[in-house]
Structure 1
Amino acid sequence: MLSNGNLTRYDPEHNKLKMISNGNSFSEVVNDYIITDKDVITFSSKSIYRIPKNILDKRNRTAPITITDVKLQEMSLPIDSLYRLNYDENEIQINFNSTGYGAGEMKYEYILNKDEDTWRKVPSTLKQLDFASLSPGEYRFKLRGKRSSSLEYQYATPITFMIEPPYWLSYWFIILMVAIVILMVYFLMKYQQRKRNKRRRLEVQQLLNEKKLASLKLENIRSQMNPHFVFNSLNSIQDFIVSNERELASGYLVKFSRLIRMYLDYSQQDEISLTQEINALKLYLELEKMRFDDELNYTISIDPAINADQFKVPSLFIQPYVENALKHGLLHKKANRKLAISGILSSSKEYVKIIIEDNGIGRLKSSEINKTRSNDHQSFATSVNDKRVQLYKEQLNKQISIDIEDLYDQNKTPAGTRVTIALPLT
């Protein structure tokens, strides 16, 4: 009998009614039906069911189970038994159904992991399962179901998902990273070793430079206290004594001893103030003027813009050039001997220029005279100063420059020498 879309069977032998389409067997509204010898065929707006008559009384029969759709990231995939997915393709949805008679009474269970033996129940209202953010690995999905009155399960075809790990977790990437780390550690150790070796070389070089500088200090002392100067000074003192000029001899001796003390004191220092250097020069020139019988006129002028008490110069650096001016330029001149020492600030205010200018016979004439003398005077001081300049450039990064210029009068005759020493202000 068909009433309001529900199909009912009446058993006259036992006087019983049984709903065939009661929402449990199938949920569609029955529009019509046909009865044959073996089957009952029902028609609805969506489907056709063929129900064998011999199963209408069998409550324990389970309908087959089918996986109807597999979605990856909300996109449907063809049904397959194996899926190989990337690490970021880990949002999976599985839809399933049972289309046979009695499907409405089905209870479903599933297992996702191959290492898991426990079947998990699916809520009775659901016909799909969602798995979000699955970690990389192999997953085997199994689905089974049965009617509540049935003893046997129906199984759907299993599906396997292979989710590949991200590249940073793969073996080749890990091996590559370990190799890179090992290489980085190796090169870092080599770099540190090179730095240590370079530092040791610099320390050795610094020690050698300091040794050279100490040696040059001693050479500078010897050049300052050269035998000519000491011998001439003692001769002058002797002459004063023989001439019964005791006051001159005493004054000369006092100045000579003060100069010796200054040289010994300043030679122990790498740098002294410009004021100290000028004081030593004044004392030296006073002694030389006495030896020249006062036939020597010298001037010393320092630009007021230069803080002579604070400005540092290499110790006893200027005196050798003053000595050369006296011994090689002015000594051979008969009269009107003039020497000018000046200190000026460069226009860029980055350098202090010390200018030593004499009106002597010039370097060329002096060289010719010295060649004819048997007791030729060797100027150690200026060669030592050249070495000191090189050391100051290398060790202290101070760019000291020395320029020597020959002077001529209007007739192109040698009229003296000018030495310009440029010392950095800082």
Structure 2
Amino acid sequence: MNKVYVVGVGMTKFEKPGGDRDYPAMAKEAGTKALEDAGVSYDKVREAYVGFCYGDSTSGQRAVYELGMTGIPVVNVNNNCSTASTALFLAARAVRGGLADCALALGFEKMKSGSLEAGHTDREQPLLRHIERLARLHEFQMPVAPWMFAAAGREHMARYGTTAEQFAKIGLKNHKHSVNNPYAQFQDEYTLDDILAAKPIVDPLTRLQCSPTSDGSAAAIVASESFVDKHGLAGQAVEIIGQSMVTDLENTFDGTAAGIVGLHMTKAAALEVYEQAGIGPEDIGVLELHDCFSVNELLTYEALGLCGPGEGGKLVDNGDTTYGGKWVVNPSGGLISKGHPLGATGLAQCAEMTWQVRGTADARQVPGVKVALSHNIGLGGAAVVTAYRGAAA
């Protein structure tokens, strides 16, 4: 199996929906930045995997054609909130399997304001089973997505004594981190009282603990070791040392809200990545994980093995997941503050982790990063976990 390296990344600023920029322009910006970062022209790309959730068929081709029309295979990817990391997963597999020596993963989204809505109402929704099972455990509420994660939060509170304040501290941390991220949709810092007093969404979540809908795009160029050597890219190449995608398991429906919102998928993917890379949580310096809601960040601490079951709140109180702690989690501001254009999020995580491993993350830089980890999850479902390390490490 070939080694796989990220050799170029790029993204747009994530913005509030409703702007004038259409998806081809956003994709062109992100893709061009990634190519320029890699120092290669588009004609070197042999395959492209393009992710989006809201768009017509072959929108991926329309987006990529902004970079060139070279006849290469272009695969459209739609995997809910894990769409962009799925595109990265597929591009990396093409390189790892020797099918391409250079591939593009590109993601974009042009969204509507407000809560997510179903695309079709004349057929069964992919999440119907998940929603029905959760409604047996917790009274149904709207909006659906925050209800699902809030239910898992209340479950954690009842089982382990986790507090609403601990969840709010995650929002506090991520908003504070975003102040130093020029790509973030929001760069405002708040007090803990601000977070707790913000508009209630579904108990215990307030608005400042929920990711907003966003417009944006992100991209990565992945390449083989021979390509890296041929083009002199070793100094900037970041190796993908482990990567796993896991879809729903039987224990998704184990009678817990945490299972329904993906805890077991994440845990299984993380264990596979740790085994592939020969690392453990203690080896990781920085993480970008899927904080669609503050509750999910805390659940993910436990699923990734940063702490034991029920100990996520303790990590928060100890300051273990910010600068000066054991790990820095979501230095970009995460989905909560950076924004969450579904088709771009996982590749924005890849960009941040690449910059962190290179040591080029400016004011967000975590000192001494050797290994970085990203986690991206979509309900219905798929969890993608990726570990990164510098080529020279």
Q: TM-score category by the smaller chain?
A: under 0.3
Larger Rg: 1
Question: What is the TM-score with the length of structure 2 in the denominator?
Answer: 0.22
Question: What is the TM-score with the length of structure 1 in the denominator?
Answer: 0.21
* Greater strand content: 1
> Does 1 or 2 have the higher relative contact order (CA < 8 Å, sep 6+)?
2
